[in-house]
Amino acid sequence: MKHLAGALALAFSVGTAGAQVGHLPTESPFVDLEAGHELTFFGGMFSAARDPVGVAPRSGPMYGLRYEKTVGGPASLLVRFAHVNSERYAIDPTKTGAAAQLGRRNVGLNLIDANVVLNLTGQKSWHSLVPVVNLGVGIATCACSVELDPYKFGTPFAFSFGGGLRYVPGGRFQLRVDVNDYLYQLKYPPAYFVAPAAGAPPAAPPKQAKSFWKNNPAITLGASYLFFR
């Protein structure tokens, strides 16, 4: 990652220098980014991948906070908390038919992660725009338990990656749009693989894996307060 950041910084600094040739400083499309800290409130939509049984947290509106600090050159560190107003369908795997359906339940999915972020225009904006990419790791948590349903979401690791675009018009505020993917593991309880009665199928489909990873993209819009150098 250190070598990648250095290579990207060198490439874009060369491009930036070349683009500024022939421009007076006051007329250049490139402007220095002065703030070293960023606090952002964001909201958007979380799109959960469907699971074969249909009991995991589903898509829903997302909101949260992110704090970002410049650590050198085009790189910064990001800490982020996001909450998803989600829902899940619960089942009783010991029953069959309509008796197995426990209904839809509202649940809260929380995503906490830390990322390395790279500004693709270095420590400058271009026409007030700064494209960024990020890569990180964290955890996902959900209070998803329902009586009679043995499914537990747990606290799996969640890998995150994505990119975005910052609009920095000057001053203390900025706007941004980000697209991220949260990759985490789902696990089904053993009871989902046991037939509830003779001749009745189990809750999980045939040959279904007991655990698997899935991608969950999200798109958000944010408003930021910029402070300190």
What is the per-residue DSSP string for the chain? -HHHHHHHHHHHHHHHHHHHTT--TTT-SEEE----EEEEEEEEEE-PPPPSSS-S---EEEEEEEEEEEEETTEEEEEEEEEEEEEEEEE-TTS-GGGGEEEEEEEEEEEEEEEEEEETTTTEEETTEEEEEEEEEEEEEE---BTTB-------EEEEEEEEEEE--SSSEEEEEEEEEEEEEEE--GGGGS-SSTTPPPSSPTT--SEEEEEEEEEEEEEEEEE--
Query: Domains in the chain: how many in total?
Result: 1
Residue 66 lies in a domain: yes
pLDDT at position 2 is: 44
pLDDT at position 24 is: 55
Query: Tens digit of pLDDT per residue, the chain (229 long)?
Result: 444 444 444 444 444 444 444 555 567 899 999 889 999 999 999 999 989 999 999 999 999 999 999 998 899 999 999 999 999 999 999 999 999 999 999 999 999 999 999 999 999 999 999 999 999 999 999 999 999 999 999 999 999 999 999 999 999 999 999 999 999 999 999 999 999 988 899 999 999 999 999 999 999 999 999 998 7
How far from the centroid of its chain's Cα atoms is residue 145's Cα?
A: 23
Residue 222 lies in a domain: yes
pLDDT at position 31 is: 93
Residue 117 lies in a domain: yes
- Whole-model pTM: value is 0.86
Residue 157 lies in a domain: yes
Residue 147 lies in a domain: yes
- The domain that holds 86 is classified in CATH as 2.40.160.20
Residue 21 lies in a domain: no
Q: Which residues contact 203 (CB under 8 A, 6 or more apart)?
A: 53, 91, 93, 100, 191, 192, 193
Range of the domain at 37: 2-9+29-227
Residue 20 lies in a domain: no
Residue 137 lies in a domain: yes
Which tokens go with 164? 């975005």
pLDDT at position 183 is: 98
Question: Among all chains, which residue has been given the structure tokens 């958000």?
Answer: 220
